[in-house]
Amino acid sequence: MTAVEARDLRRTFLTRTGVLRRTAKEVEAVRGVSFEIERGELFGLLGPNGAGKTTTIKMLITLLLPTSGTARVLGHDVVDDVREVRRRIGYVFGGDRGLYERLSALDNLRYFSELYGVPPREQRARIGELLEMVGLTGRERERVEGFSRGMRQRLHIARGLLHDPEVLFLDEPSIGIDPVGARELRATIASLIDVGKTVLLTTHYMFEADELCDRIAVIRAGEIVAEGTPAHLKGLVSVGSVVEIETYGVADAAVTDIGAIAGVKSVAVEERGQMQVLIVRCDAGAQVTQAALAGLDGVRVGRVGTREPTLEDAYVELVSRT
């Protein structure tokens, strides 16, 4: 059975601009989005800032009415069967809000259990299981104010699961979390699938999407531009290989020149401390390393390497195509 089904979802917002002469402007945040998520699947929705991910999720979790189109969660319409949908879903938005800082993790979960109507007989066992699942057993009596961001986010996930929903929406859960915390959070997200949940995840971290997602939809300016398994998306783009060159003090003009070499699709500069790493994405079969190094004459160069394209390379190409 399909867990989530979106059919030609659209949402426009009316915004007002200008201070003296205010004019209304229509923003098309989501422009005809369709996809299906099977039960037990971990589905990723990826896209740049403002692409329409949160707006799509808000329509699916009944917080926002679609301007047109339809969506169903476990067969229930998100506009006509709001109660049925809400009983079956949980959601977690990234960021720190939504927990009581002065209360312990346990008291937070007890409080939200009451709020969500978890039967008192079931509360203890359910909270115990969830603490175990998100790796907070043993820390539950500590106040949330002393928790790291990663621990808070895992507690948020436990909160989102209190009423035992089948489908969970995670909107950028790993935002602002350090690498160790993020790894623990990824383990928690993966374990949701092991216990039979269906998950829709948004993230800006491509390796996270690659590691976790069964399927991914890439959304750009309110429209889905590609969909499939991570391997399928990597195969969709024409990036053949990626040359990475460590440089120290490279000038913009040299970067532009490398971008103009035959066979180079794009050049990105990643600042890593004192170093700038040039990420040169090349056409299949192109040999550009020598020409690129010649273009860096006079610049201090560190390691040079070639690697296979990652999901991030595919993503960059998919969202920057014109």
Ligand X SMILES: Nc1ncnc2c1ncn2[C@@H]1O[C@H](COP(=O)(O)OP(=O)(O)OP(=O)(O)O)[C@@H](O)[C@H]1O
Q: By CB under 6 A, name the binding residues for ligand X.
A: 13, 15, 27, 29, 47, 49-55
CB of 197 to ligand X, least distance (A): 22
CB of 34 to ligand X, least distance (A): 16
CA dist., res. 266 & res. 259, Å (int):
6
Q: Considering beta carbons, is residue 15 or 229 the nearer one to ligand X?
A: 15
CB count within 10 Å of CB 22 equals: 9
Q: Secondary structure of the chain: what % helix, strand, coil (to 5)?
A: 35, 35, 30
CA dist., res. 176 & res. 288, Å (int):
36
CB of 298 to ligand X, least distance (A): 39
CA dist., res. 57 & res. 71, Å (int):
11
CB of 303 to ligand X, least distance (A): 32
Q: Which sign does the torsion angle of CA 266, 53, 2, 133 carry?
A: positive
Q: Which sign does the torsion angle of CA 183, 150, 161, 118 carry?
A: positive
Q: Considering beta carbons, is residue 109 or 206 the nearer one to ligand X?
A: 206
CA dist., res. 125 & res. 114, Å (int):
14
Two tokens at 13? 């917002």
Q: Considering beta carbons, is residue 25 or 307 the nearer one to ligand X?
A: 25
Q: Considering beta carbons, is residue 62 or 108 the nearer one to ligand X?
A: 62
CB of 160 to ligand X, least distance (A): 18
Q: Considering beta carbons, is residue 45 or 314 the nearer one to ligand X?
A: 45
